[in-house]
Amino acid sequence: MVDRAADQAKAPVMGAAGPSVQELLDNERGPIPPVLRDTRSLNLGTAELPTNRYTSEAFSRLEFSRMWTRTWQMACREEDIPEVGDFEVYEIGRRSLLVVRVTATELRAYHNVCLHRGRILKQEPGSAQFFRCPFHGFSWNLDGSSRSITNAWDFEHIDPAEFSLPQVRTACWGGFVFINLDDSAEPLEDYLDDLPEIFQTRGWDLSSRVKTVHVHKLNRCNWKVALEAFIESFHVVATHPGAMTYLGDAYTQYDVWPERRHFTRMISPRGLASPHLGREITEEEIFQAGAGRMTGDSPRLPEGLSARQAMADAKRAFLKEQFGIDVPDMTDCEALDTIQYHIFPNLVVWAGWGSFLVYRFRPNGEDPGSSIMEVFFLIPQGDGKSLTTARRPTRLGFDDSHRGAPELGPFADVFDEDLSNIPEVQRGLAAMEGPGVRLGNYQEARIRHFHQTLDRYLES
């Protein structure tokens, strides 16, 4: 993609008439933390994205050889493998990895492949004292060292000391276990730039949460088509019109920073109506639509408060009652809004307490035309509550509705609305004439930033 120099002169500005997120913060009742004030838009150019980025096998191969094999990817949650011997399987393209708890404090990842004739060692997550290949019974210890070679008399040429499972780097942040296939890649703490500090400053602690919901959905689209459908709120107007009574979609703040290479952010405010609604709406109506969605009834707007303030108060009360979360300086923004970070390449996490969602997107095998979308709920462990980790995902096929995963609750219908588009986007990209995908300068800046980051890997 070539940036047009003339377009670099000025940063794009938000054009929607109405309150910006920063103005909403100005009107909050308490102090605003610097991380919410740290907003930035960049002019990243206006070049079209060629459609072959989504459809071509050659491009997909390039992604595997230059990007997937060199970036930090979330392989699982720490609570997926709580006991020594617990293991997860993470697959990316043709690669399959075993992520193992080797001791109480040490996690390791190995290529999930038998060193004899190459059988995949484990197809599903589980727990083991050692890894035994089902084909001829060769086995390896949890620390990856060779444990047994069946009929060893026939393998004199193999030195057991040199017959360990090849290891892959692991590192943790926020309770996520990341892997990197590149031994020379920068450490995770550098890769994440200052994201961990940002989360820590505000006590947005994902590490103590528990993955209680894990849904694994196959989609007929490139992994980037699915990802890109979830990192902008621009599509709410046409795809989720039901949310317009309480979601300020067009007021969303999109942050891309020059110094932060591997993450971007958006903040979509709630508790106010979309300007696309096309009719006058009272604060009372906004409150009833928004808070009613939270509580399931029709509450009255308390005297003297805006819908946004009252929704934030209701949410704080809910967080305290349900989860024992009592953060005295929690802003309305952190209580209510979508504060969503995309961590390159494929992880999307929510900050604050507005929502407990996490998404992961990846190719389905090496096919550029199909992909896996996973949804996690990371739920805070309330006082004295013991939550059960969803170790095995609910699996949904290409043609399944998200209603096949009732644990998604009201999100199921929202995701189904999104999925009404994404296979059709893939079909359309294959059919498209002309130079390619055109992005909005501001509202789709995260998508452009993502592609430019991807290009940096593909070109180096």
Residues that bind Fe ion (CB under 5 A): 418
Least distance between ligand FES and beta carbon 76 (Å): 24
Sheet-wide strand order for 126-127? 73-77, 176-180, 167-173, 107-111, 95-101, 86-92, 126-127
Two structure tokens written together for 330: 């929690």
Q: Which does 168 bind (CB under 5 to 8 A by kind): ligand FES, Fe ion, none?
A: none
Q: Are 11 and 42 in contact (CB under 8 A)?
A: yes
Cα 311 to Cα 22, 147, 273, 284, 305, distances in angstroms? 18, 59, 13, 11, 9
Least distance between Fe ion and beta carbon 333 (Å): 20
Cα 264–29–297 angle (5° rounding)?
Answer: 85
Q: Does 47 bind ligand FES (CB under 6 A)?
A: no
Coil/strand/helix, residue 402: helix
Among 61, 117, 300, 403, binds ligand FES (CB under 6 A): 117
Stretch that binds ligand FES, among 1-9, 28-36, 109-117, 195-203 (CB under 6 A): 109-117
Among 133, 273, 286, 301, binds ligand FES (CB under 6 A): 133
The type of residue at 202 is R
Q: How far is residue 306's CA from residue 375's CA, in Å, rounded to a whole number?
A: 32
Among 40, 66, 116, 169, binds ligand FES (CB under 6 A): 116
Q: Which does 418 bind (CB under 5 to 8 A by kind): ligand FES, Fe ion, none?
A: Fe ion
- Label the pairing between strands 394-396 and 210-219: parallel
Is the sign of the CA dihedral 73, 77, 80, 82 positive or negative? positive
Q: Does 138 bind ligand FES (CB under 6 A)?
A: yes
Least distance between Fe ion and beta carbon 296 (Å): 22
Two structure tokens written together for 146: 């060779």
Residue number with CB closer to Fe ion (125 or 423): 423
Q: How far is residue 139's CA from residue 123's CA, in Å, rounded to a whole number?
A: 16
Residue number with CB closer to ligand FES (140 or 176): 140
Residue number with CB closer to ligand FES (136 or 385): 136
Q: Does 147 bind ligand FES (CB under 6 A)?
A: no
Q: Total residues contacting ligand FES (rule CB under 6 A)?
A: 9
Among 44, 107, 114, 267, binds ligand FES (CB under 6 A): 114
Two structure tokens written together for 432: 């498209």
Binding site for ligand FES (CB under 6 A): 114, 116-117, 119, 133, 135-138
